[in-house]
Amino acid sequence: MNKSYCPSLTEYKRRKTRVVNIGGLPMGGDYPIRVQSMTTVDTMDTMGSVEQCIRMIEAGCEYIRITAPSIKEAENLKNIKEELAKRGYNVPLIADIHFTPNAAEVAARIVEKVRVNPGNYADKKKFQVIEYDDASYQAELDRIRERFVPLVRICKEHGTAMRIGTNHGSLSDRILSRYGDTPLGMVESALEFLRICEDEGYYEIIISMKASNTQVMVQAYRLLVQKLEEEGMQPYPLHLGVTEAGEAEDGRIKSAVGIGTLLEDGLGDTVRVSLTEAPEAEAPVAKALIDRYTHRAEKAQPLKPICNVPINPFQYHRRETVEVENLGGTNVPRVVADLSRQTDVQYADLKCVGHLYSMLLDKFNMNDLGADFIYTGHNPINFMLPNGLKEIVNYDTWLTAEQREDRHPLLDAAQYIGGVERHEKVNFVLLTLQDLSSELLERLKQDKTAVLMLQTNNAHAMPELRKCFFRLMNNGVQTPCIIKRAYGQLTPDETQLYAATDVGGLLIDGLGDGVMLGTEFLPAQEKGEWLQTIDQYNSLSFGILQAARTRMSKTEYISCPSCGRTLFDLQETTAMIRKRTDHLKGVKIGIMGCIVNGPGEMADADYGYVGVGKDKIALYRGQTVIKKAVPADRAVDELIELIREDDKWIEPVQLVE
């Protein structure tokens, strides 16, 4: 199988792409990776749109996308553009088109770029499985060509660029019938349009493969690059994004898992982070993701190329490992919280790792973010740990500790090779790539008690850790591995984004049986601050596992970022729905601003809350509408009723402290 999808799996190199000129601000080639975002104000509100564009530009946006649902909005782009120019802003504008070729044809004469969704440009989504034979499939393609060619010609004539933006949630019935809901279907959906463009001699194209499922999204982009090469097509620039990522911490983590994973491999020429927040909040997140690669190539320590890639980068398979107690095998990836910088840990302090002590009842409860292990280094805990929580201590501390059977030692490579005394059941071994000698690999193969903690000091961290996994796999070592990363003083946003990229980039390929975010590089703090940091790291670890879809510990919200079509305040509504449902572990709820794209975009949500009109909400079970126009003030109650009917509702429990 041809597994090549990027310039290098070990060295930081950007994929060489074609330069596309977008209103004088080129994208691709050696140009910087561009930041872009989308307005949420009604496109007919010229002044409101202009004000919002200016806020976005000032926050770092280099291109701005504006929805054009019909001809009148497409025409109004001219007024927005002129008003922006009058105020000294010449940012390239992008018209966002769904379902309306006539609006696209108007917009393409006004703005610098149009975005079309191949899933709905010439198709109405019917949610039907239709069997297409070769002749009827070809007839559909001919119909699309006829509908799409006029736009291509207008773009060519006016020097307008185009994004062919596939969305996992809005593939056409034709694609679904032949390829299913798959990364290959997403790629083929774009290629159908791309072939028409190339036949017309039009190449000013950018492509995106967005999904809210990060695994699908990453696989689709990789497959796209491979297919472009295979078909001898141009190396078109890539627009990266995770759709409906959500808000706050979850939205940032999910975006980084998807976008960061691709950036690490040199893929991506522009980034749009979609958060259910004001659009000006998105650009700094995109910028923080991109800026990490500005000096990556100079800072990275060289790694030898990989000859044998033991995974399929286009499909998820978890690396096969032996089960060591509750680690590896089919166990969910575990969370190890680092408490080693904190002395004198008391019962109540374990709240920061999700284990809550009630003084009143004199017992512990565990919330959904209860860590599985704590690493205490040289500061072992002096009481019995609750809820099956286990402790890891440094090897020399373990040797002299009381109740050694209740604690697990952390050995270094020399201690491990040296054959020192061990715990009977689980021994953790802290290693880097350089430690993975043939002798050590042979030892690991015989050892049913070892669990590795893989770490690196290389600035090109994820690829080095990936190389560790590949070496283990190529040598037949099935020892479970915890991914360990540690960061110095970063902003909370940077910590979230970098950790989500480094750890998520491995989990997405089925690599990793746990995560530990180490605290060793953080400056000294007071106890209260430490507990807060550990709390954040613990929640971040669970968030990354969820965003990479490897362990569900919370309710998942797939909320759209909102745009000019949005029929309610998305941020406020999402907060309200969260407040009532965030204890429903593993349930996926889509919150979509409009009926036009909402049902398609919420993809694999279990339930959907979708705006259908002013103060009117449609409620969905999967892709089926159950209640068509519920008044907004009753909609959350009715949503809960729906969840209750499916026996998925549980009453929230107040944990007593």
Percent helix / strand / coil, the chain, rounded to 5: 40, 20, 45
The least distance separating ligand SF4 from the CB of residue 560, rounded to whole angstroms, comes to 3
The least distance separating ligand SF4 from the CB of residue 559, rounded to whole angstroms, comes to 8
Enumerate the β-bridge partners of residue 557: 589
The least distance separating ligand SF4 from the CB of residue 481, rounded to whole angstroms, comes to 39
The least distance separating ligand SF4 from the CB of residue 613, rounded to whole angstroms, comes to 13
Determine whether 37 is exposed, middle or buried from the number of CB atoms within 10 Å of its CB (0-12, 13-18, 19+). buried
Structure tokens at 392: 């890891």
| Collapsed DSSP state (helix, strand, coil) of residue 27 | strand
Structure tokens at 409: 């030692």
CB closer to ligand SF4, 152 vs 595: 595
CB closer to ligand SF4, 44 vs 306: 44
CB closer to ligand SF4, 104 vs 560: 560
Residue type, 633: D
CB closer to ligand SF4, 208 vs 541: 208
The least distance separating ligand SF4 from the CB of residue 592, rounded to whole angstroms, comes to 4
CB closer to ligand SF4, 369 vs 592: 592
CB closer to ligand SF4, 457 vs 624: 624
The 3-state secondary structure of 167-208 reads EHHHCCHHHHHHHCCCHHHHHHHHHHHHHHHHHCCCCCEEEE
Contact 383, 347 (CB under 8 A): yes
Query: Any binding-site annotation on 277?
Result: no
**C-alpha torsion sign, points 371, 373, 379, 383:** positive
The Cα 35–Cα 64 span in angstroms is 9
Half-sphere exposure of 99 (CA within 13 A, CB side): 11
Query: Any binding-site annotation on 594?
Result: yes
- Measure the CA dihedral 288/294/296/298, to 10°: -150
CB closer to ligand SF4, 254 vs 565: 565
Query: Any binding-site annotation on 53?
Result: no
Number of other CB atoms surrounding residue 151 within 10 Å: 25
CB closer to ligand SF4, 204 vs 282: 282
Structure tokens at 379: 């500061």
| Collapsed DSSP state (helix, strand, coil) of residue 405 | helix
The least distance separating ligand SF4 from the CB of residue 20, rounded to whole angstroms, comes to 24
Indicate the residue whose CB is closest to ligand SF4: 593
The least distance separating ligand SF4 from the CB of residue 2, rounded to whole angstroms, comes to 35
Instruction: Catalog residues that contact ligand SF4 under the rule CB under 6 A.
Output: 560-563, 565-566, 592-594, 596-598, 601
Residue type, 213: N
Query: Any binding-site annotation on 601?
Result: yes
Structure tokens at 33: 């990776």
The Cα 223–Cα 183 span in angstroms is 7
- If you write DSSP's letter for every residue of 227-240 in order, what string do you get? HHHHTT-----BEE
Q: Which residues contact 411 (CB under 8 A, 6 or more apart)?
A: 395, 420, 427, 428, 429, 430
Run of H or E residues at 390: strand 390-394
The Cα 290–Cα 616 span in angstroms is 39
The least distance separating ligand SF4 from the CB of residue 132, rounded to whole angstroms, comes to 27
The least distance separating ligand SF4 from the CB of residue 561, rounded to whole angstroms, comes to 5
Q: Point out the annotated binding site for [4Fe-4S] cluster.
A: 560, 563, 594, 601
Q: Point out the annotated binding site.
A: 560, 563, 594, 601
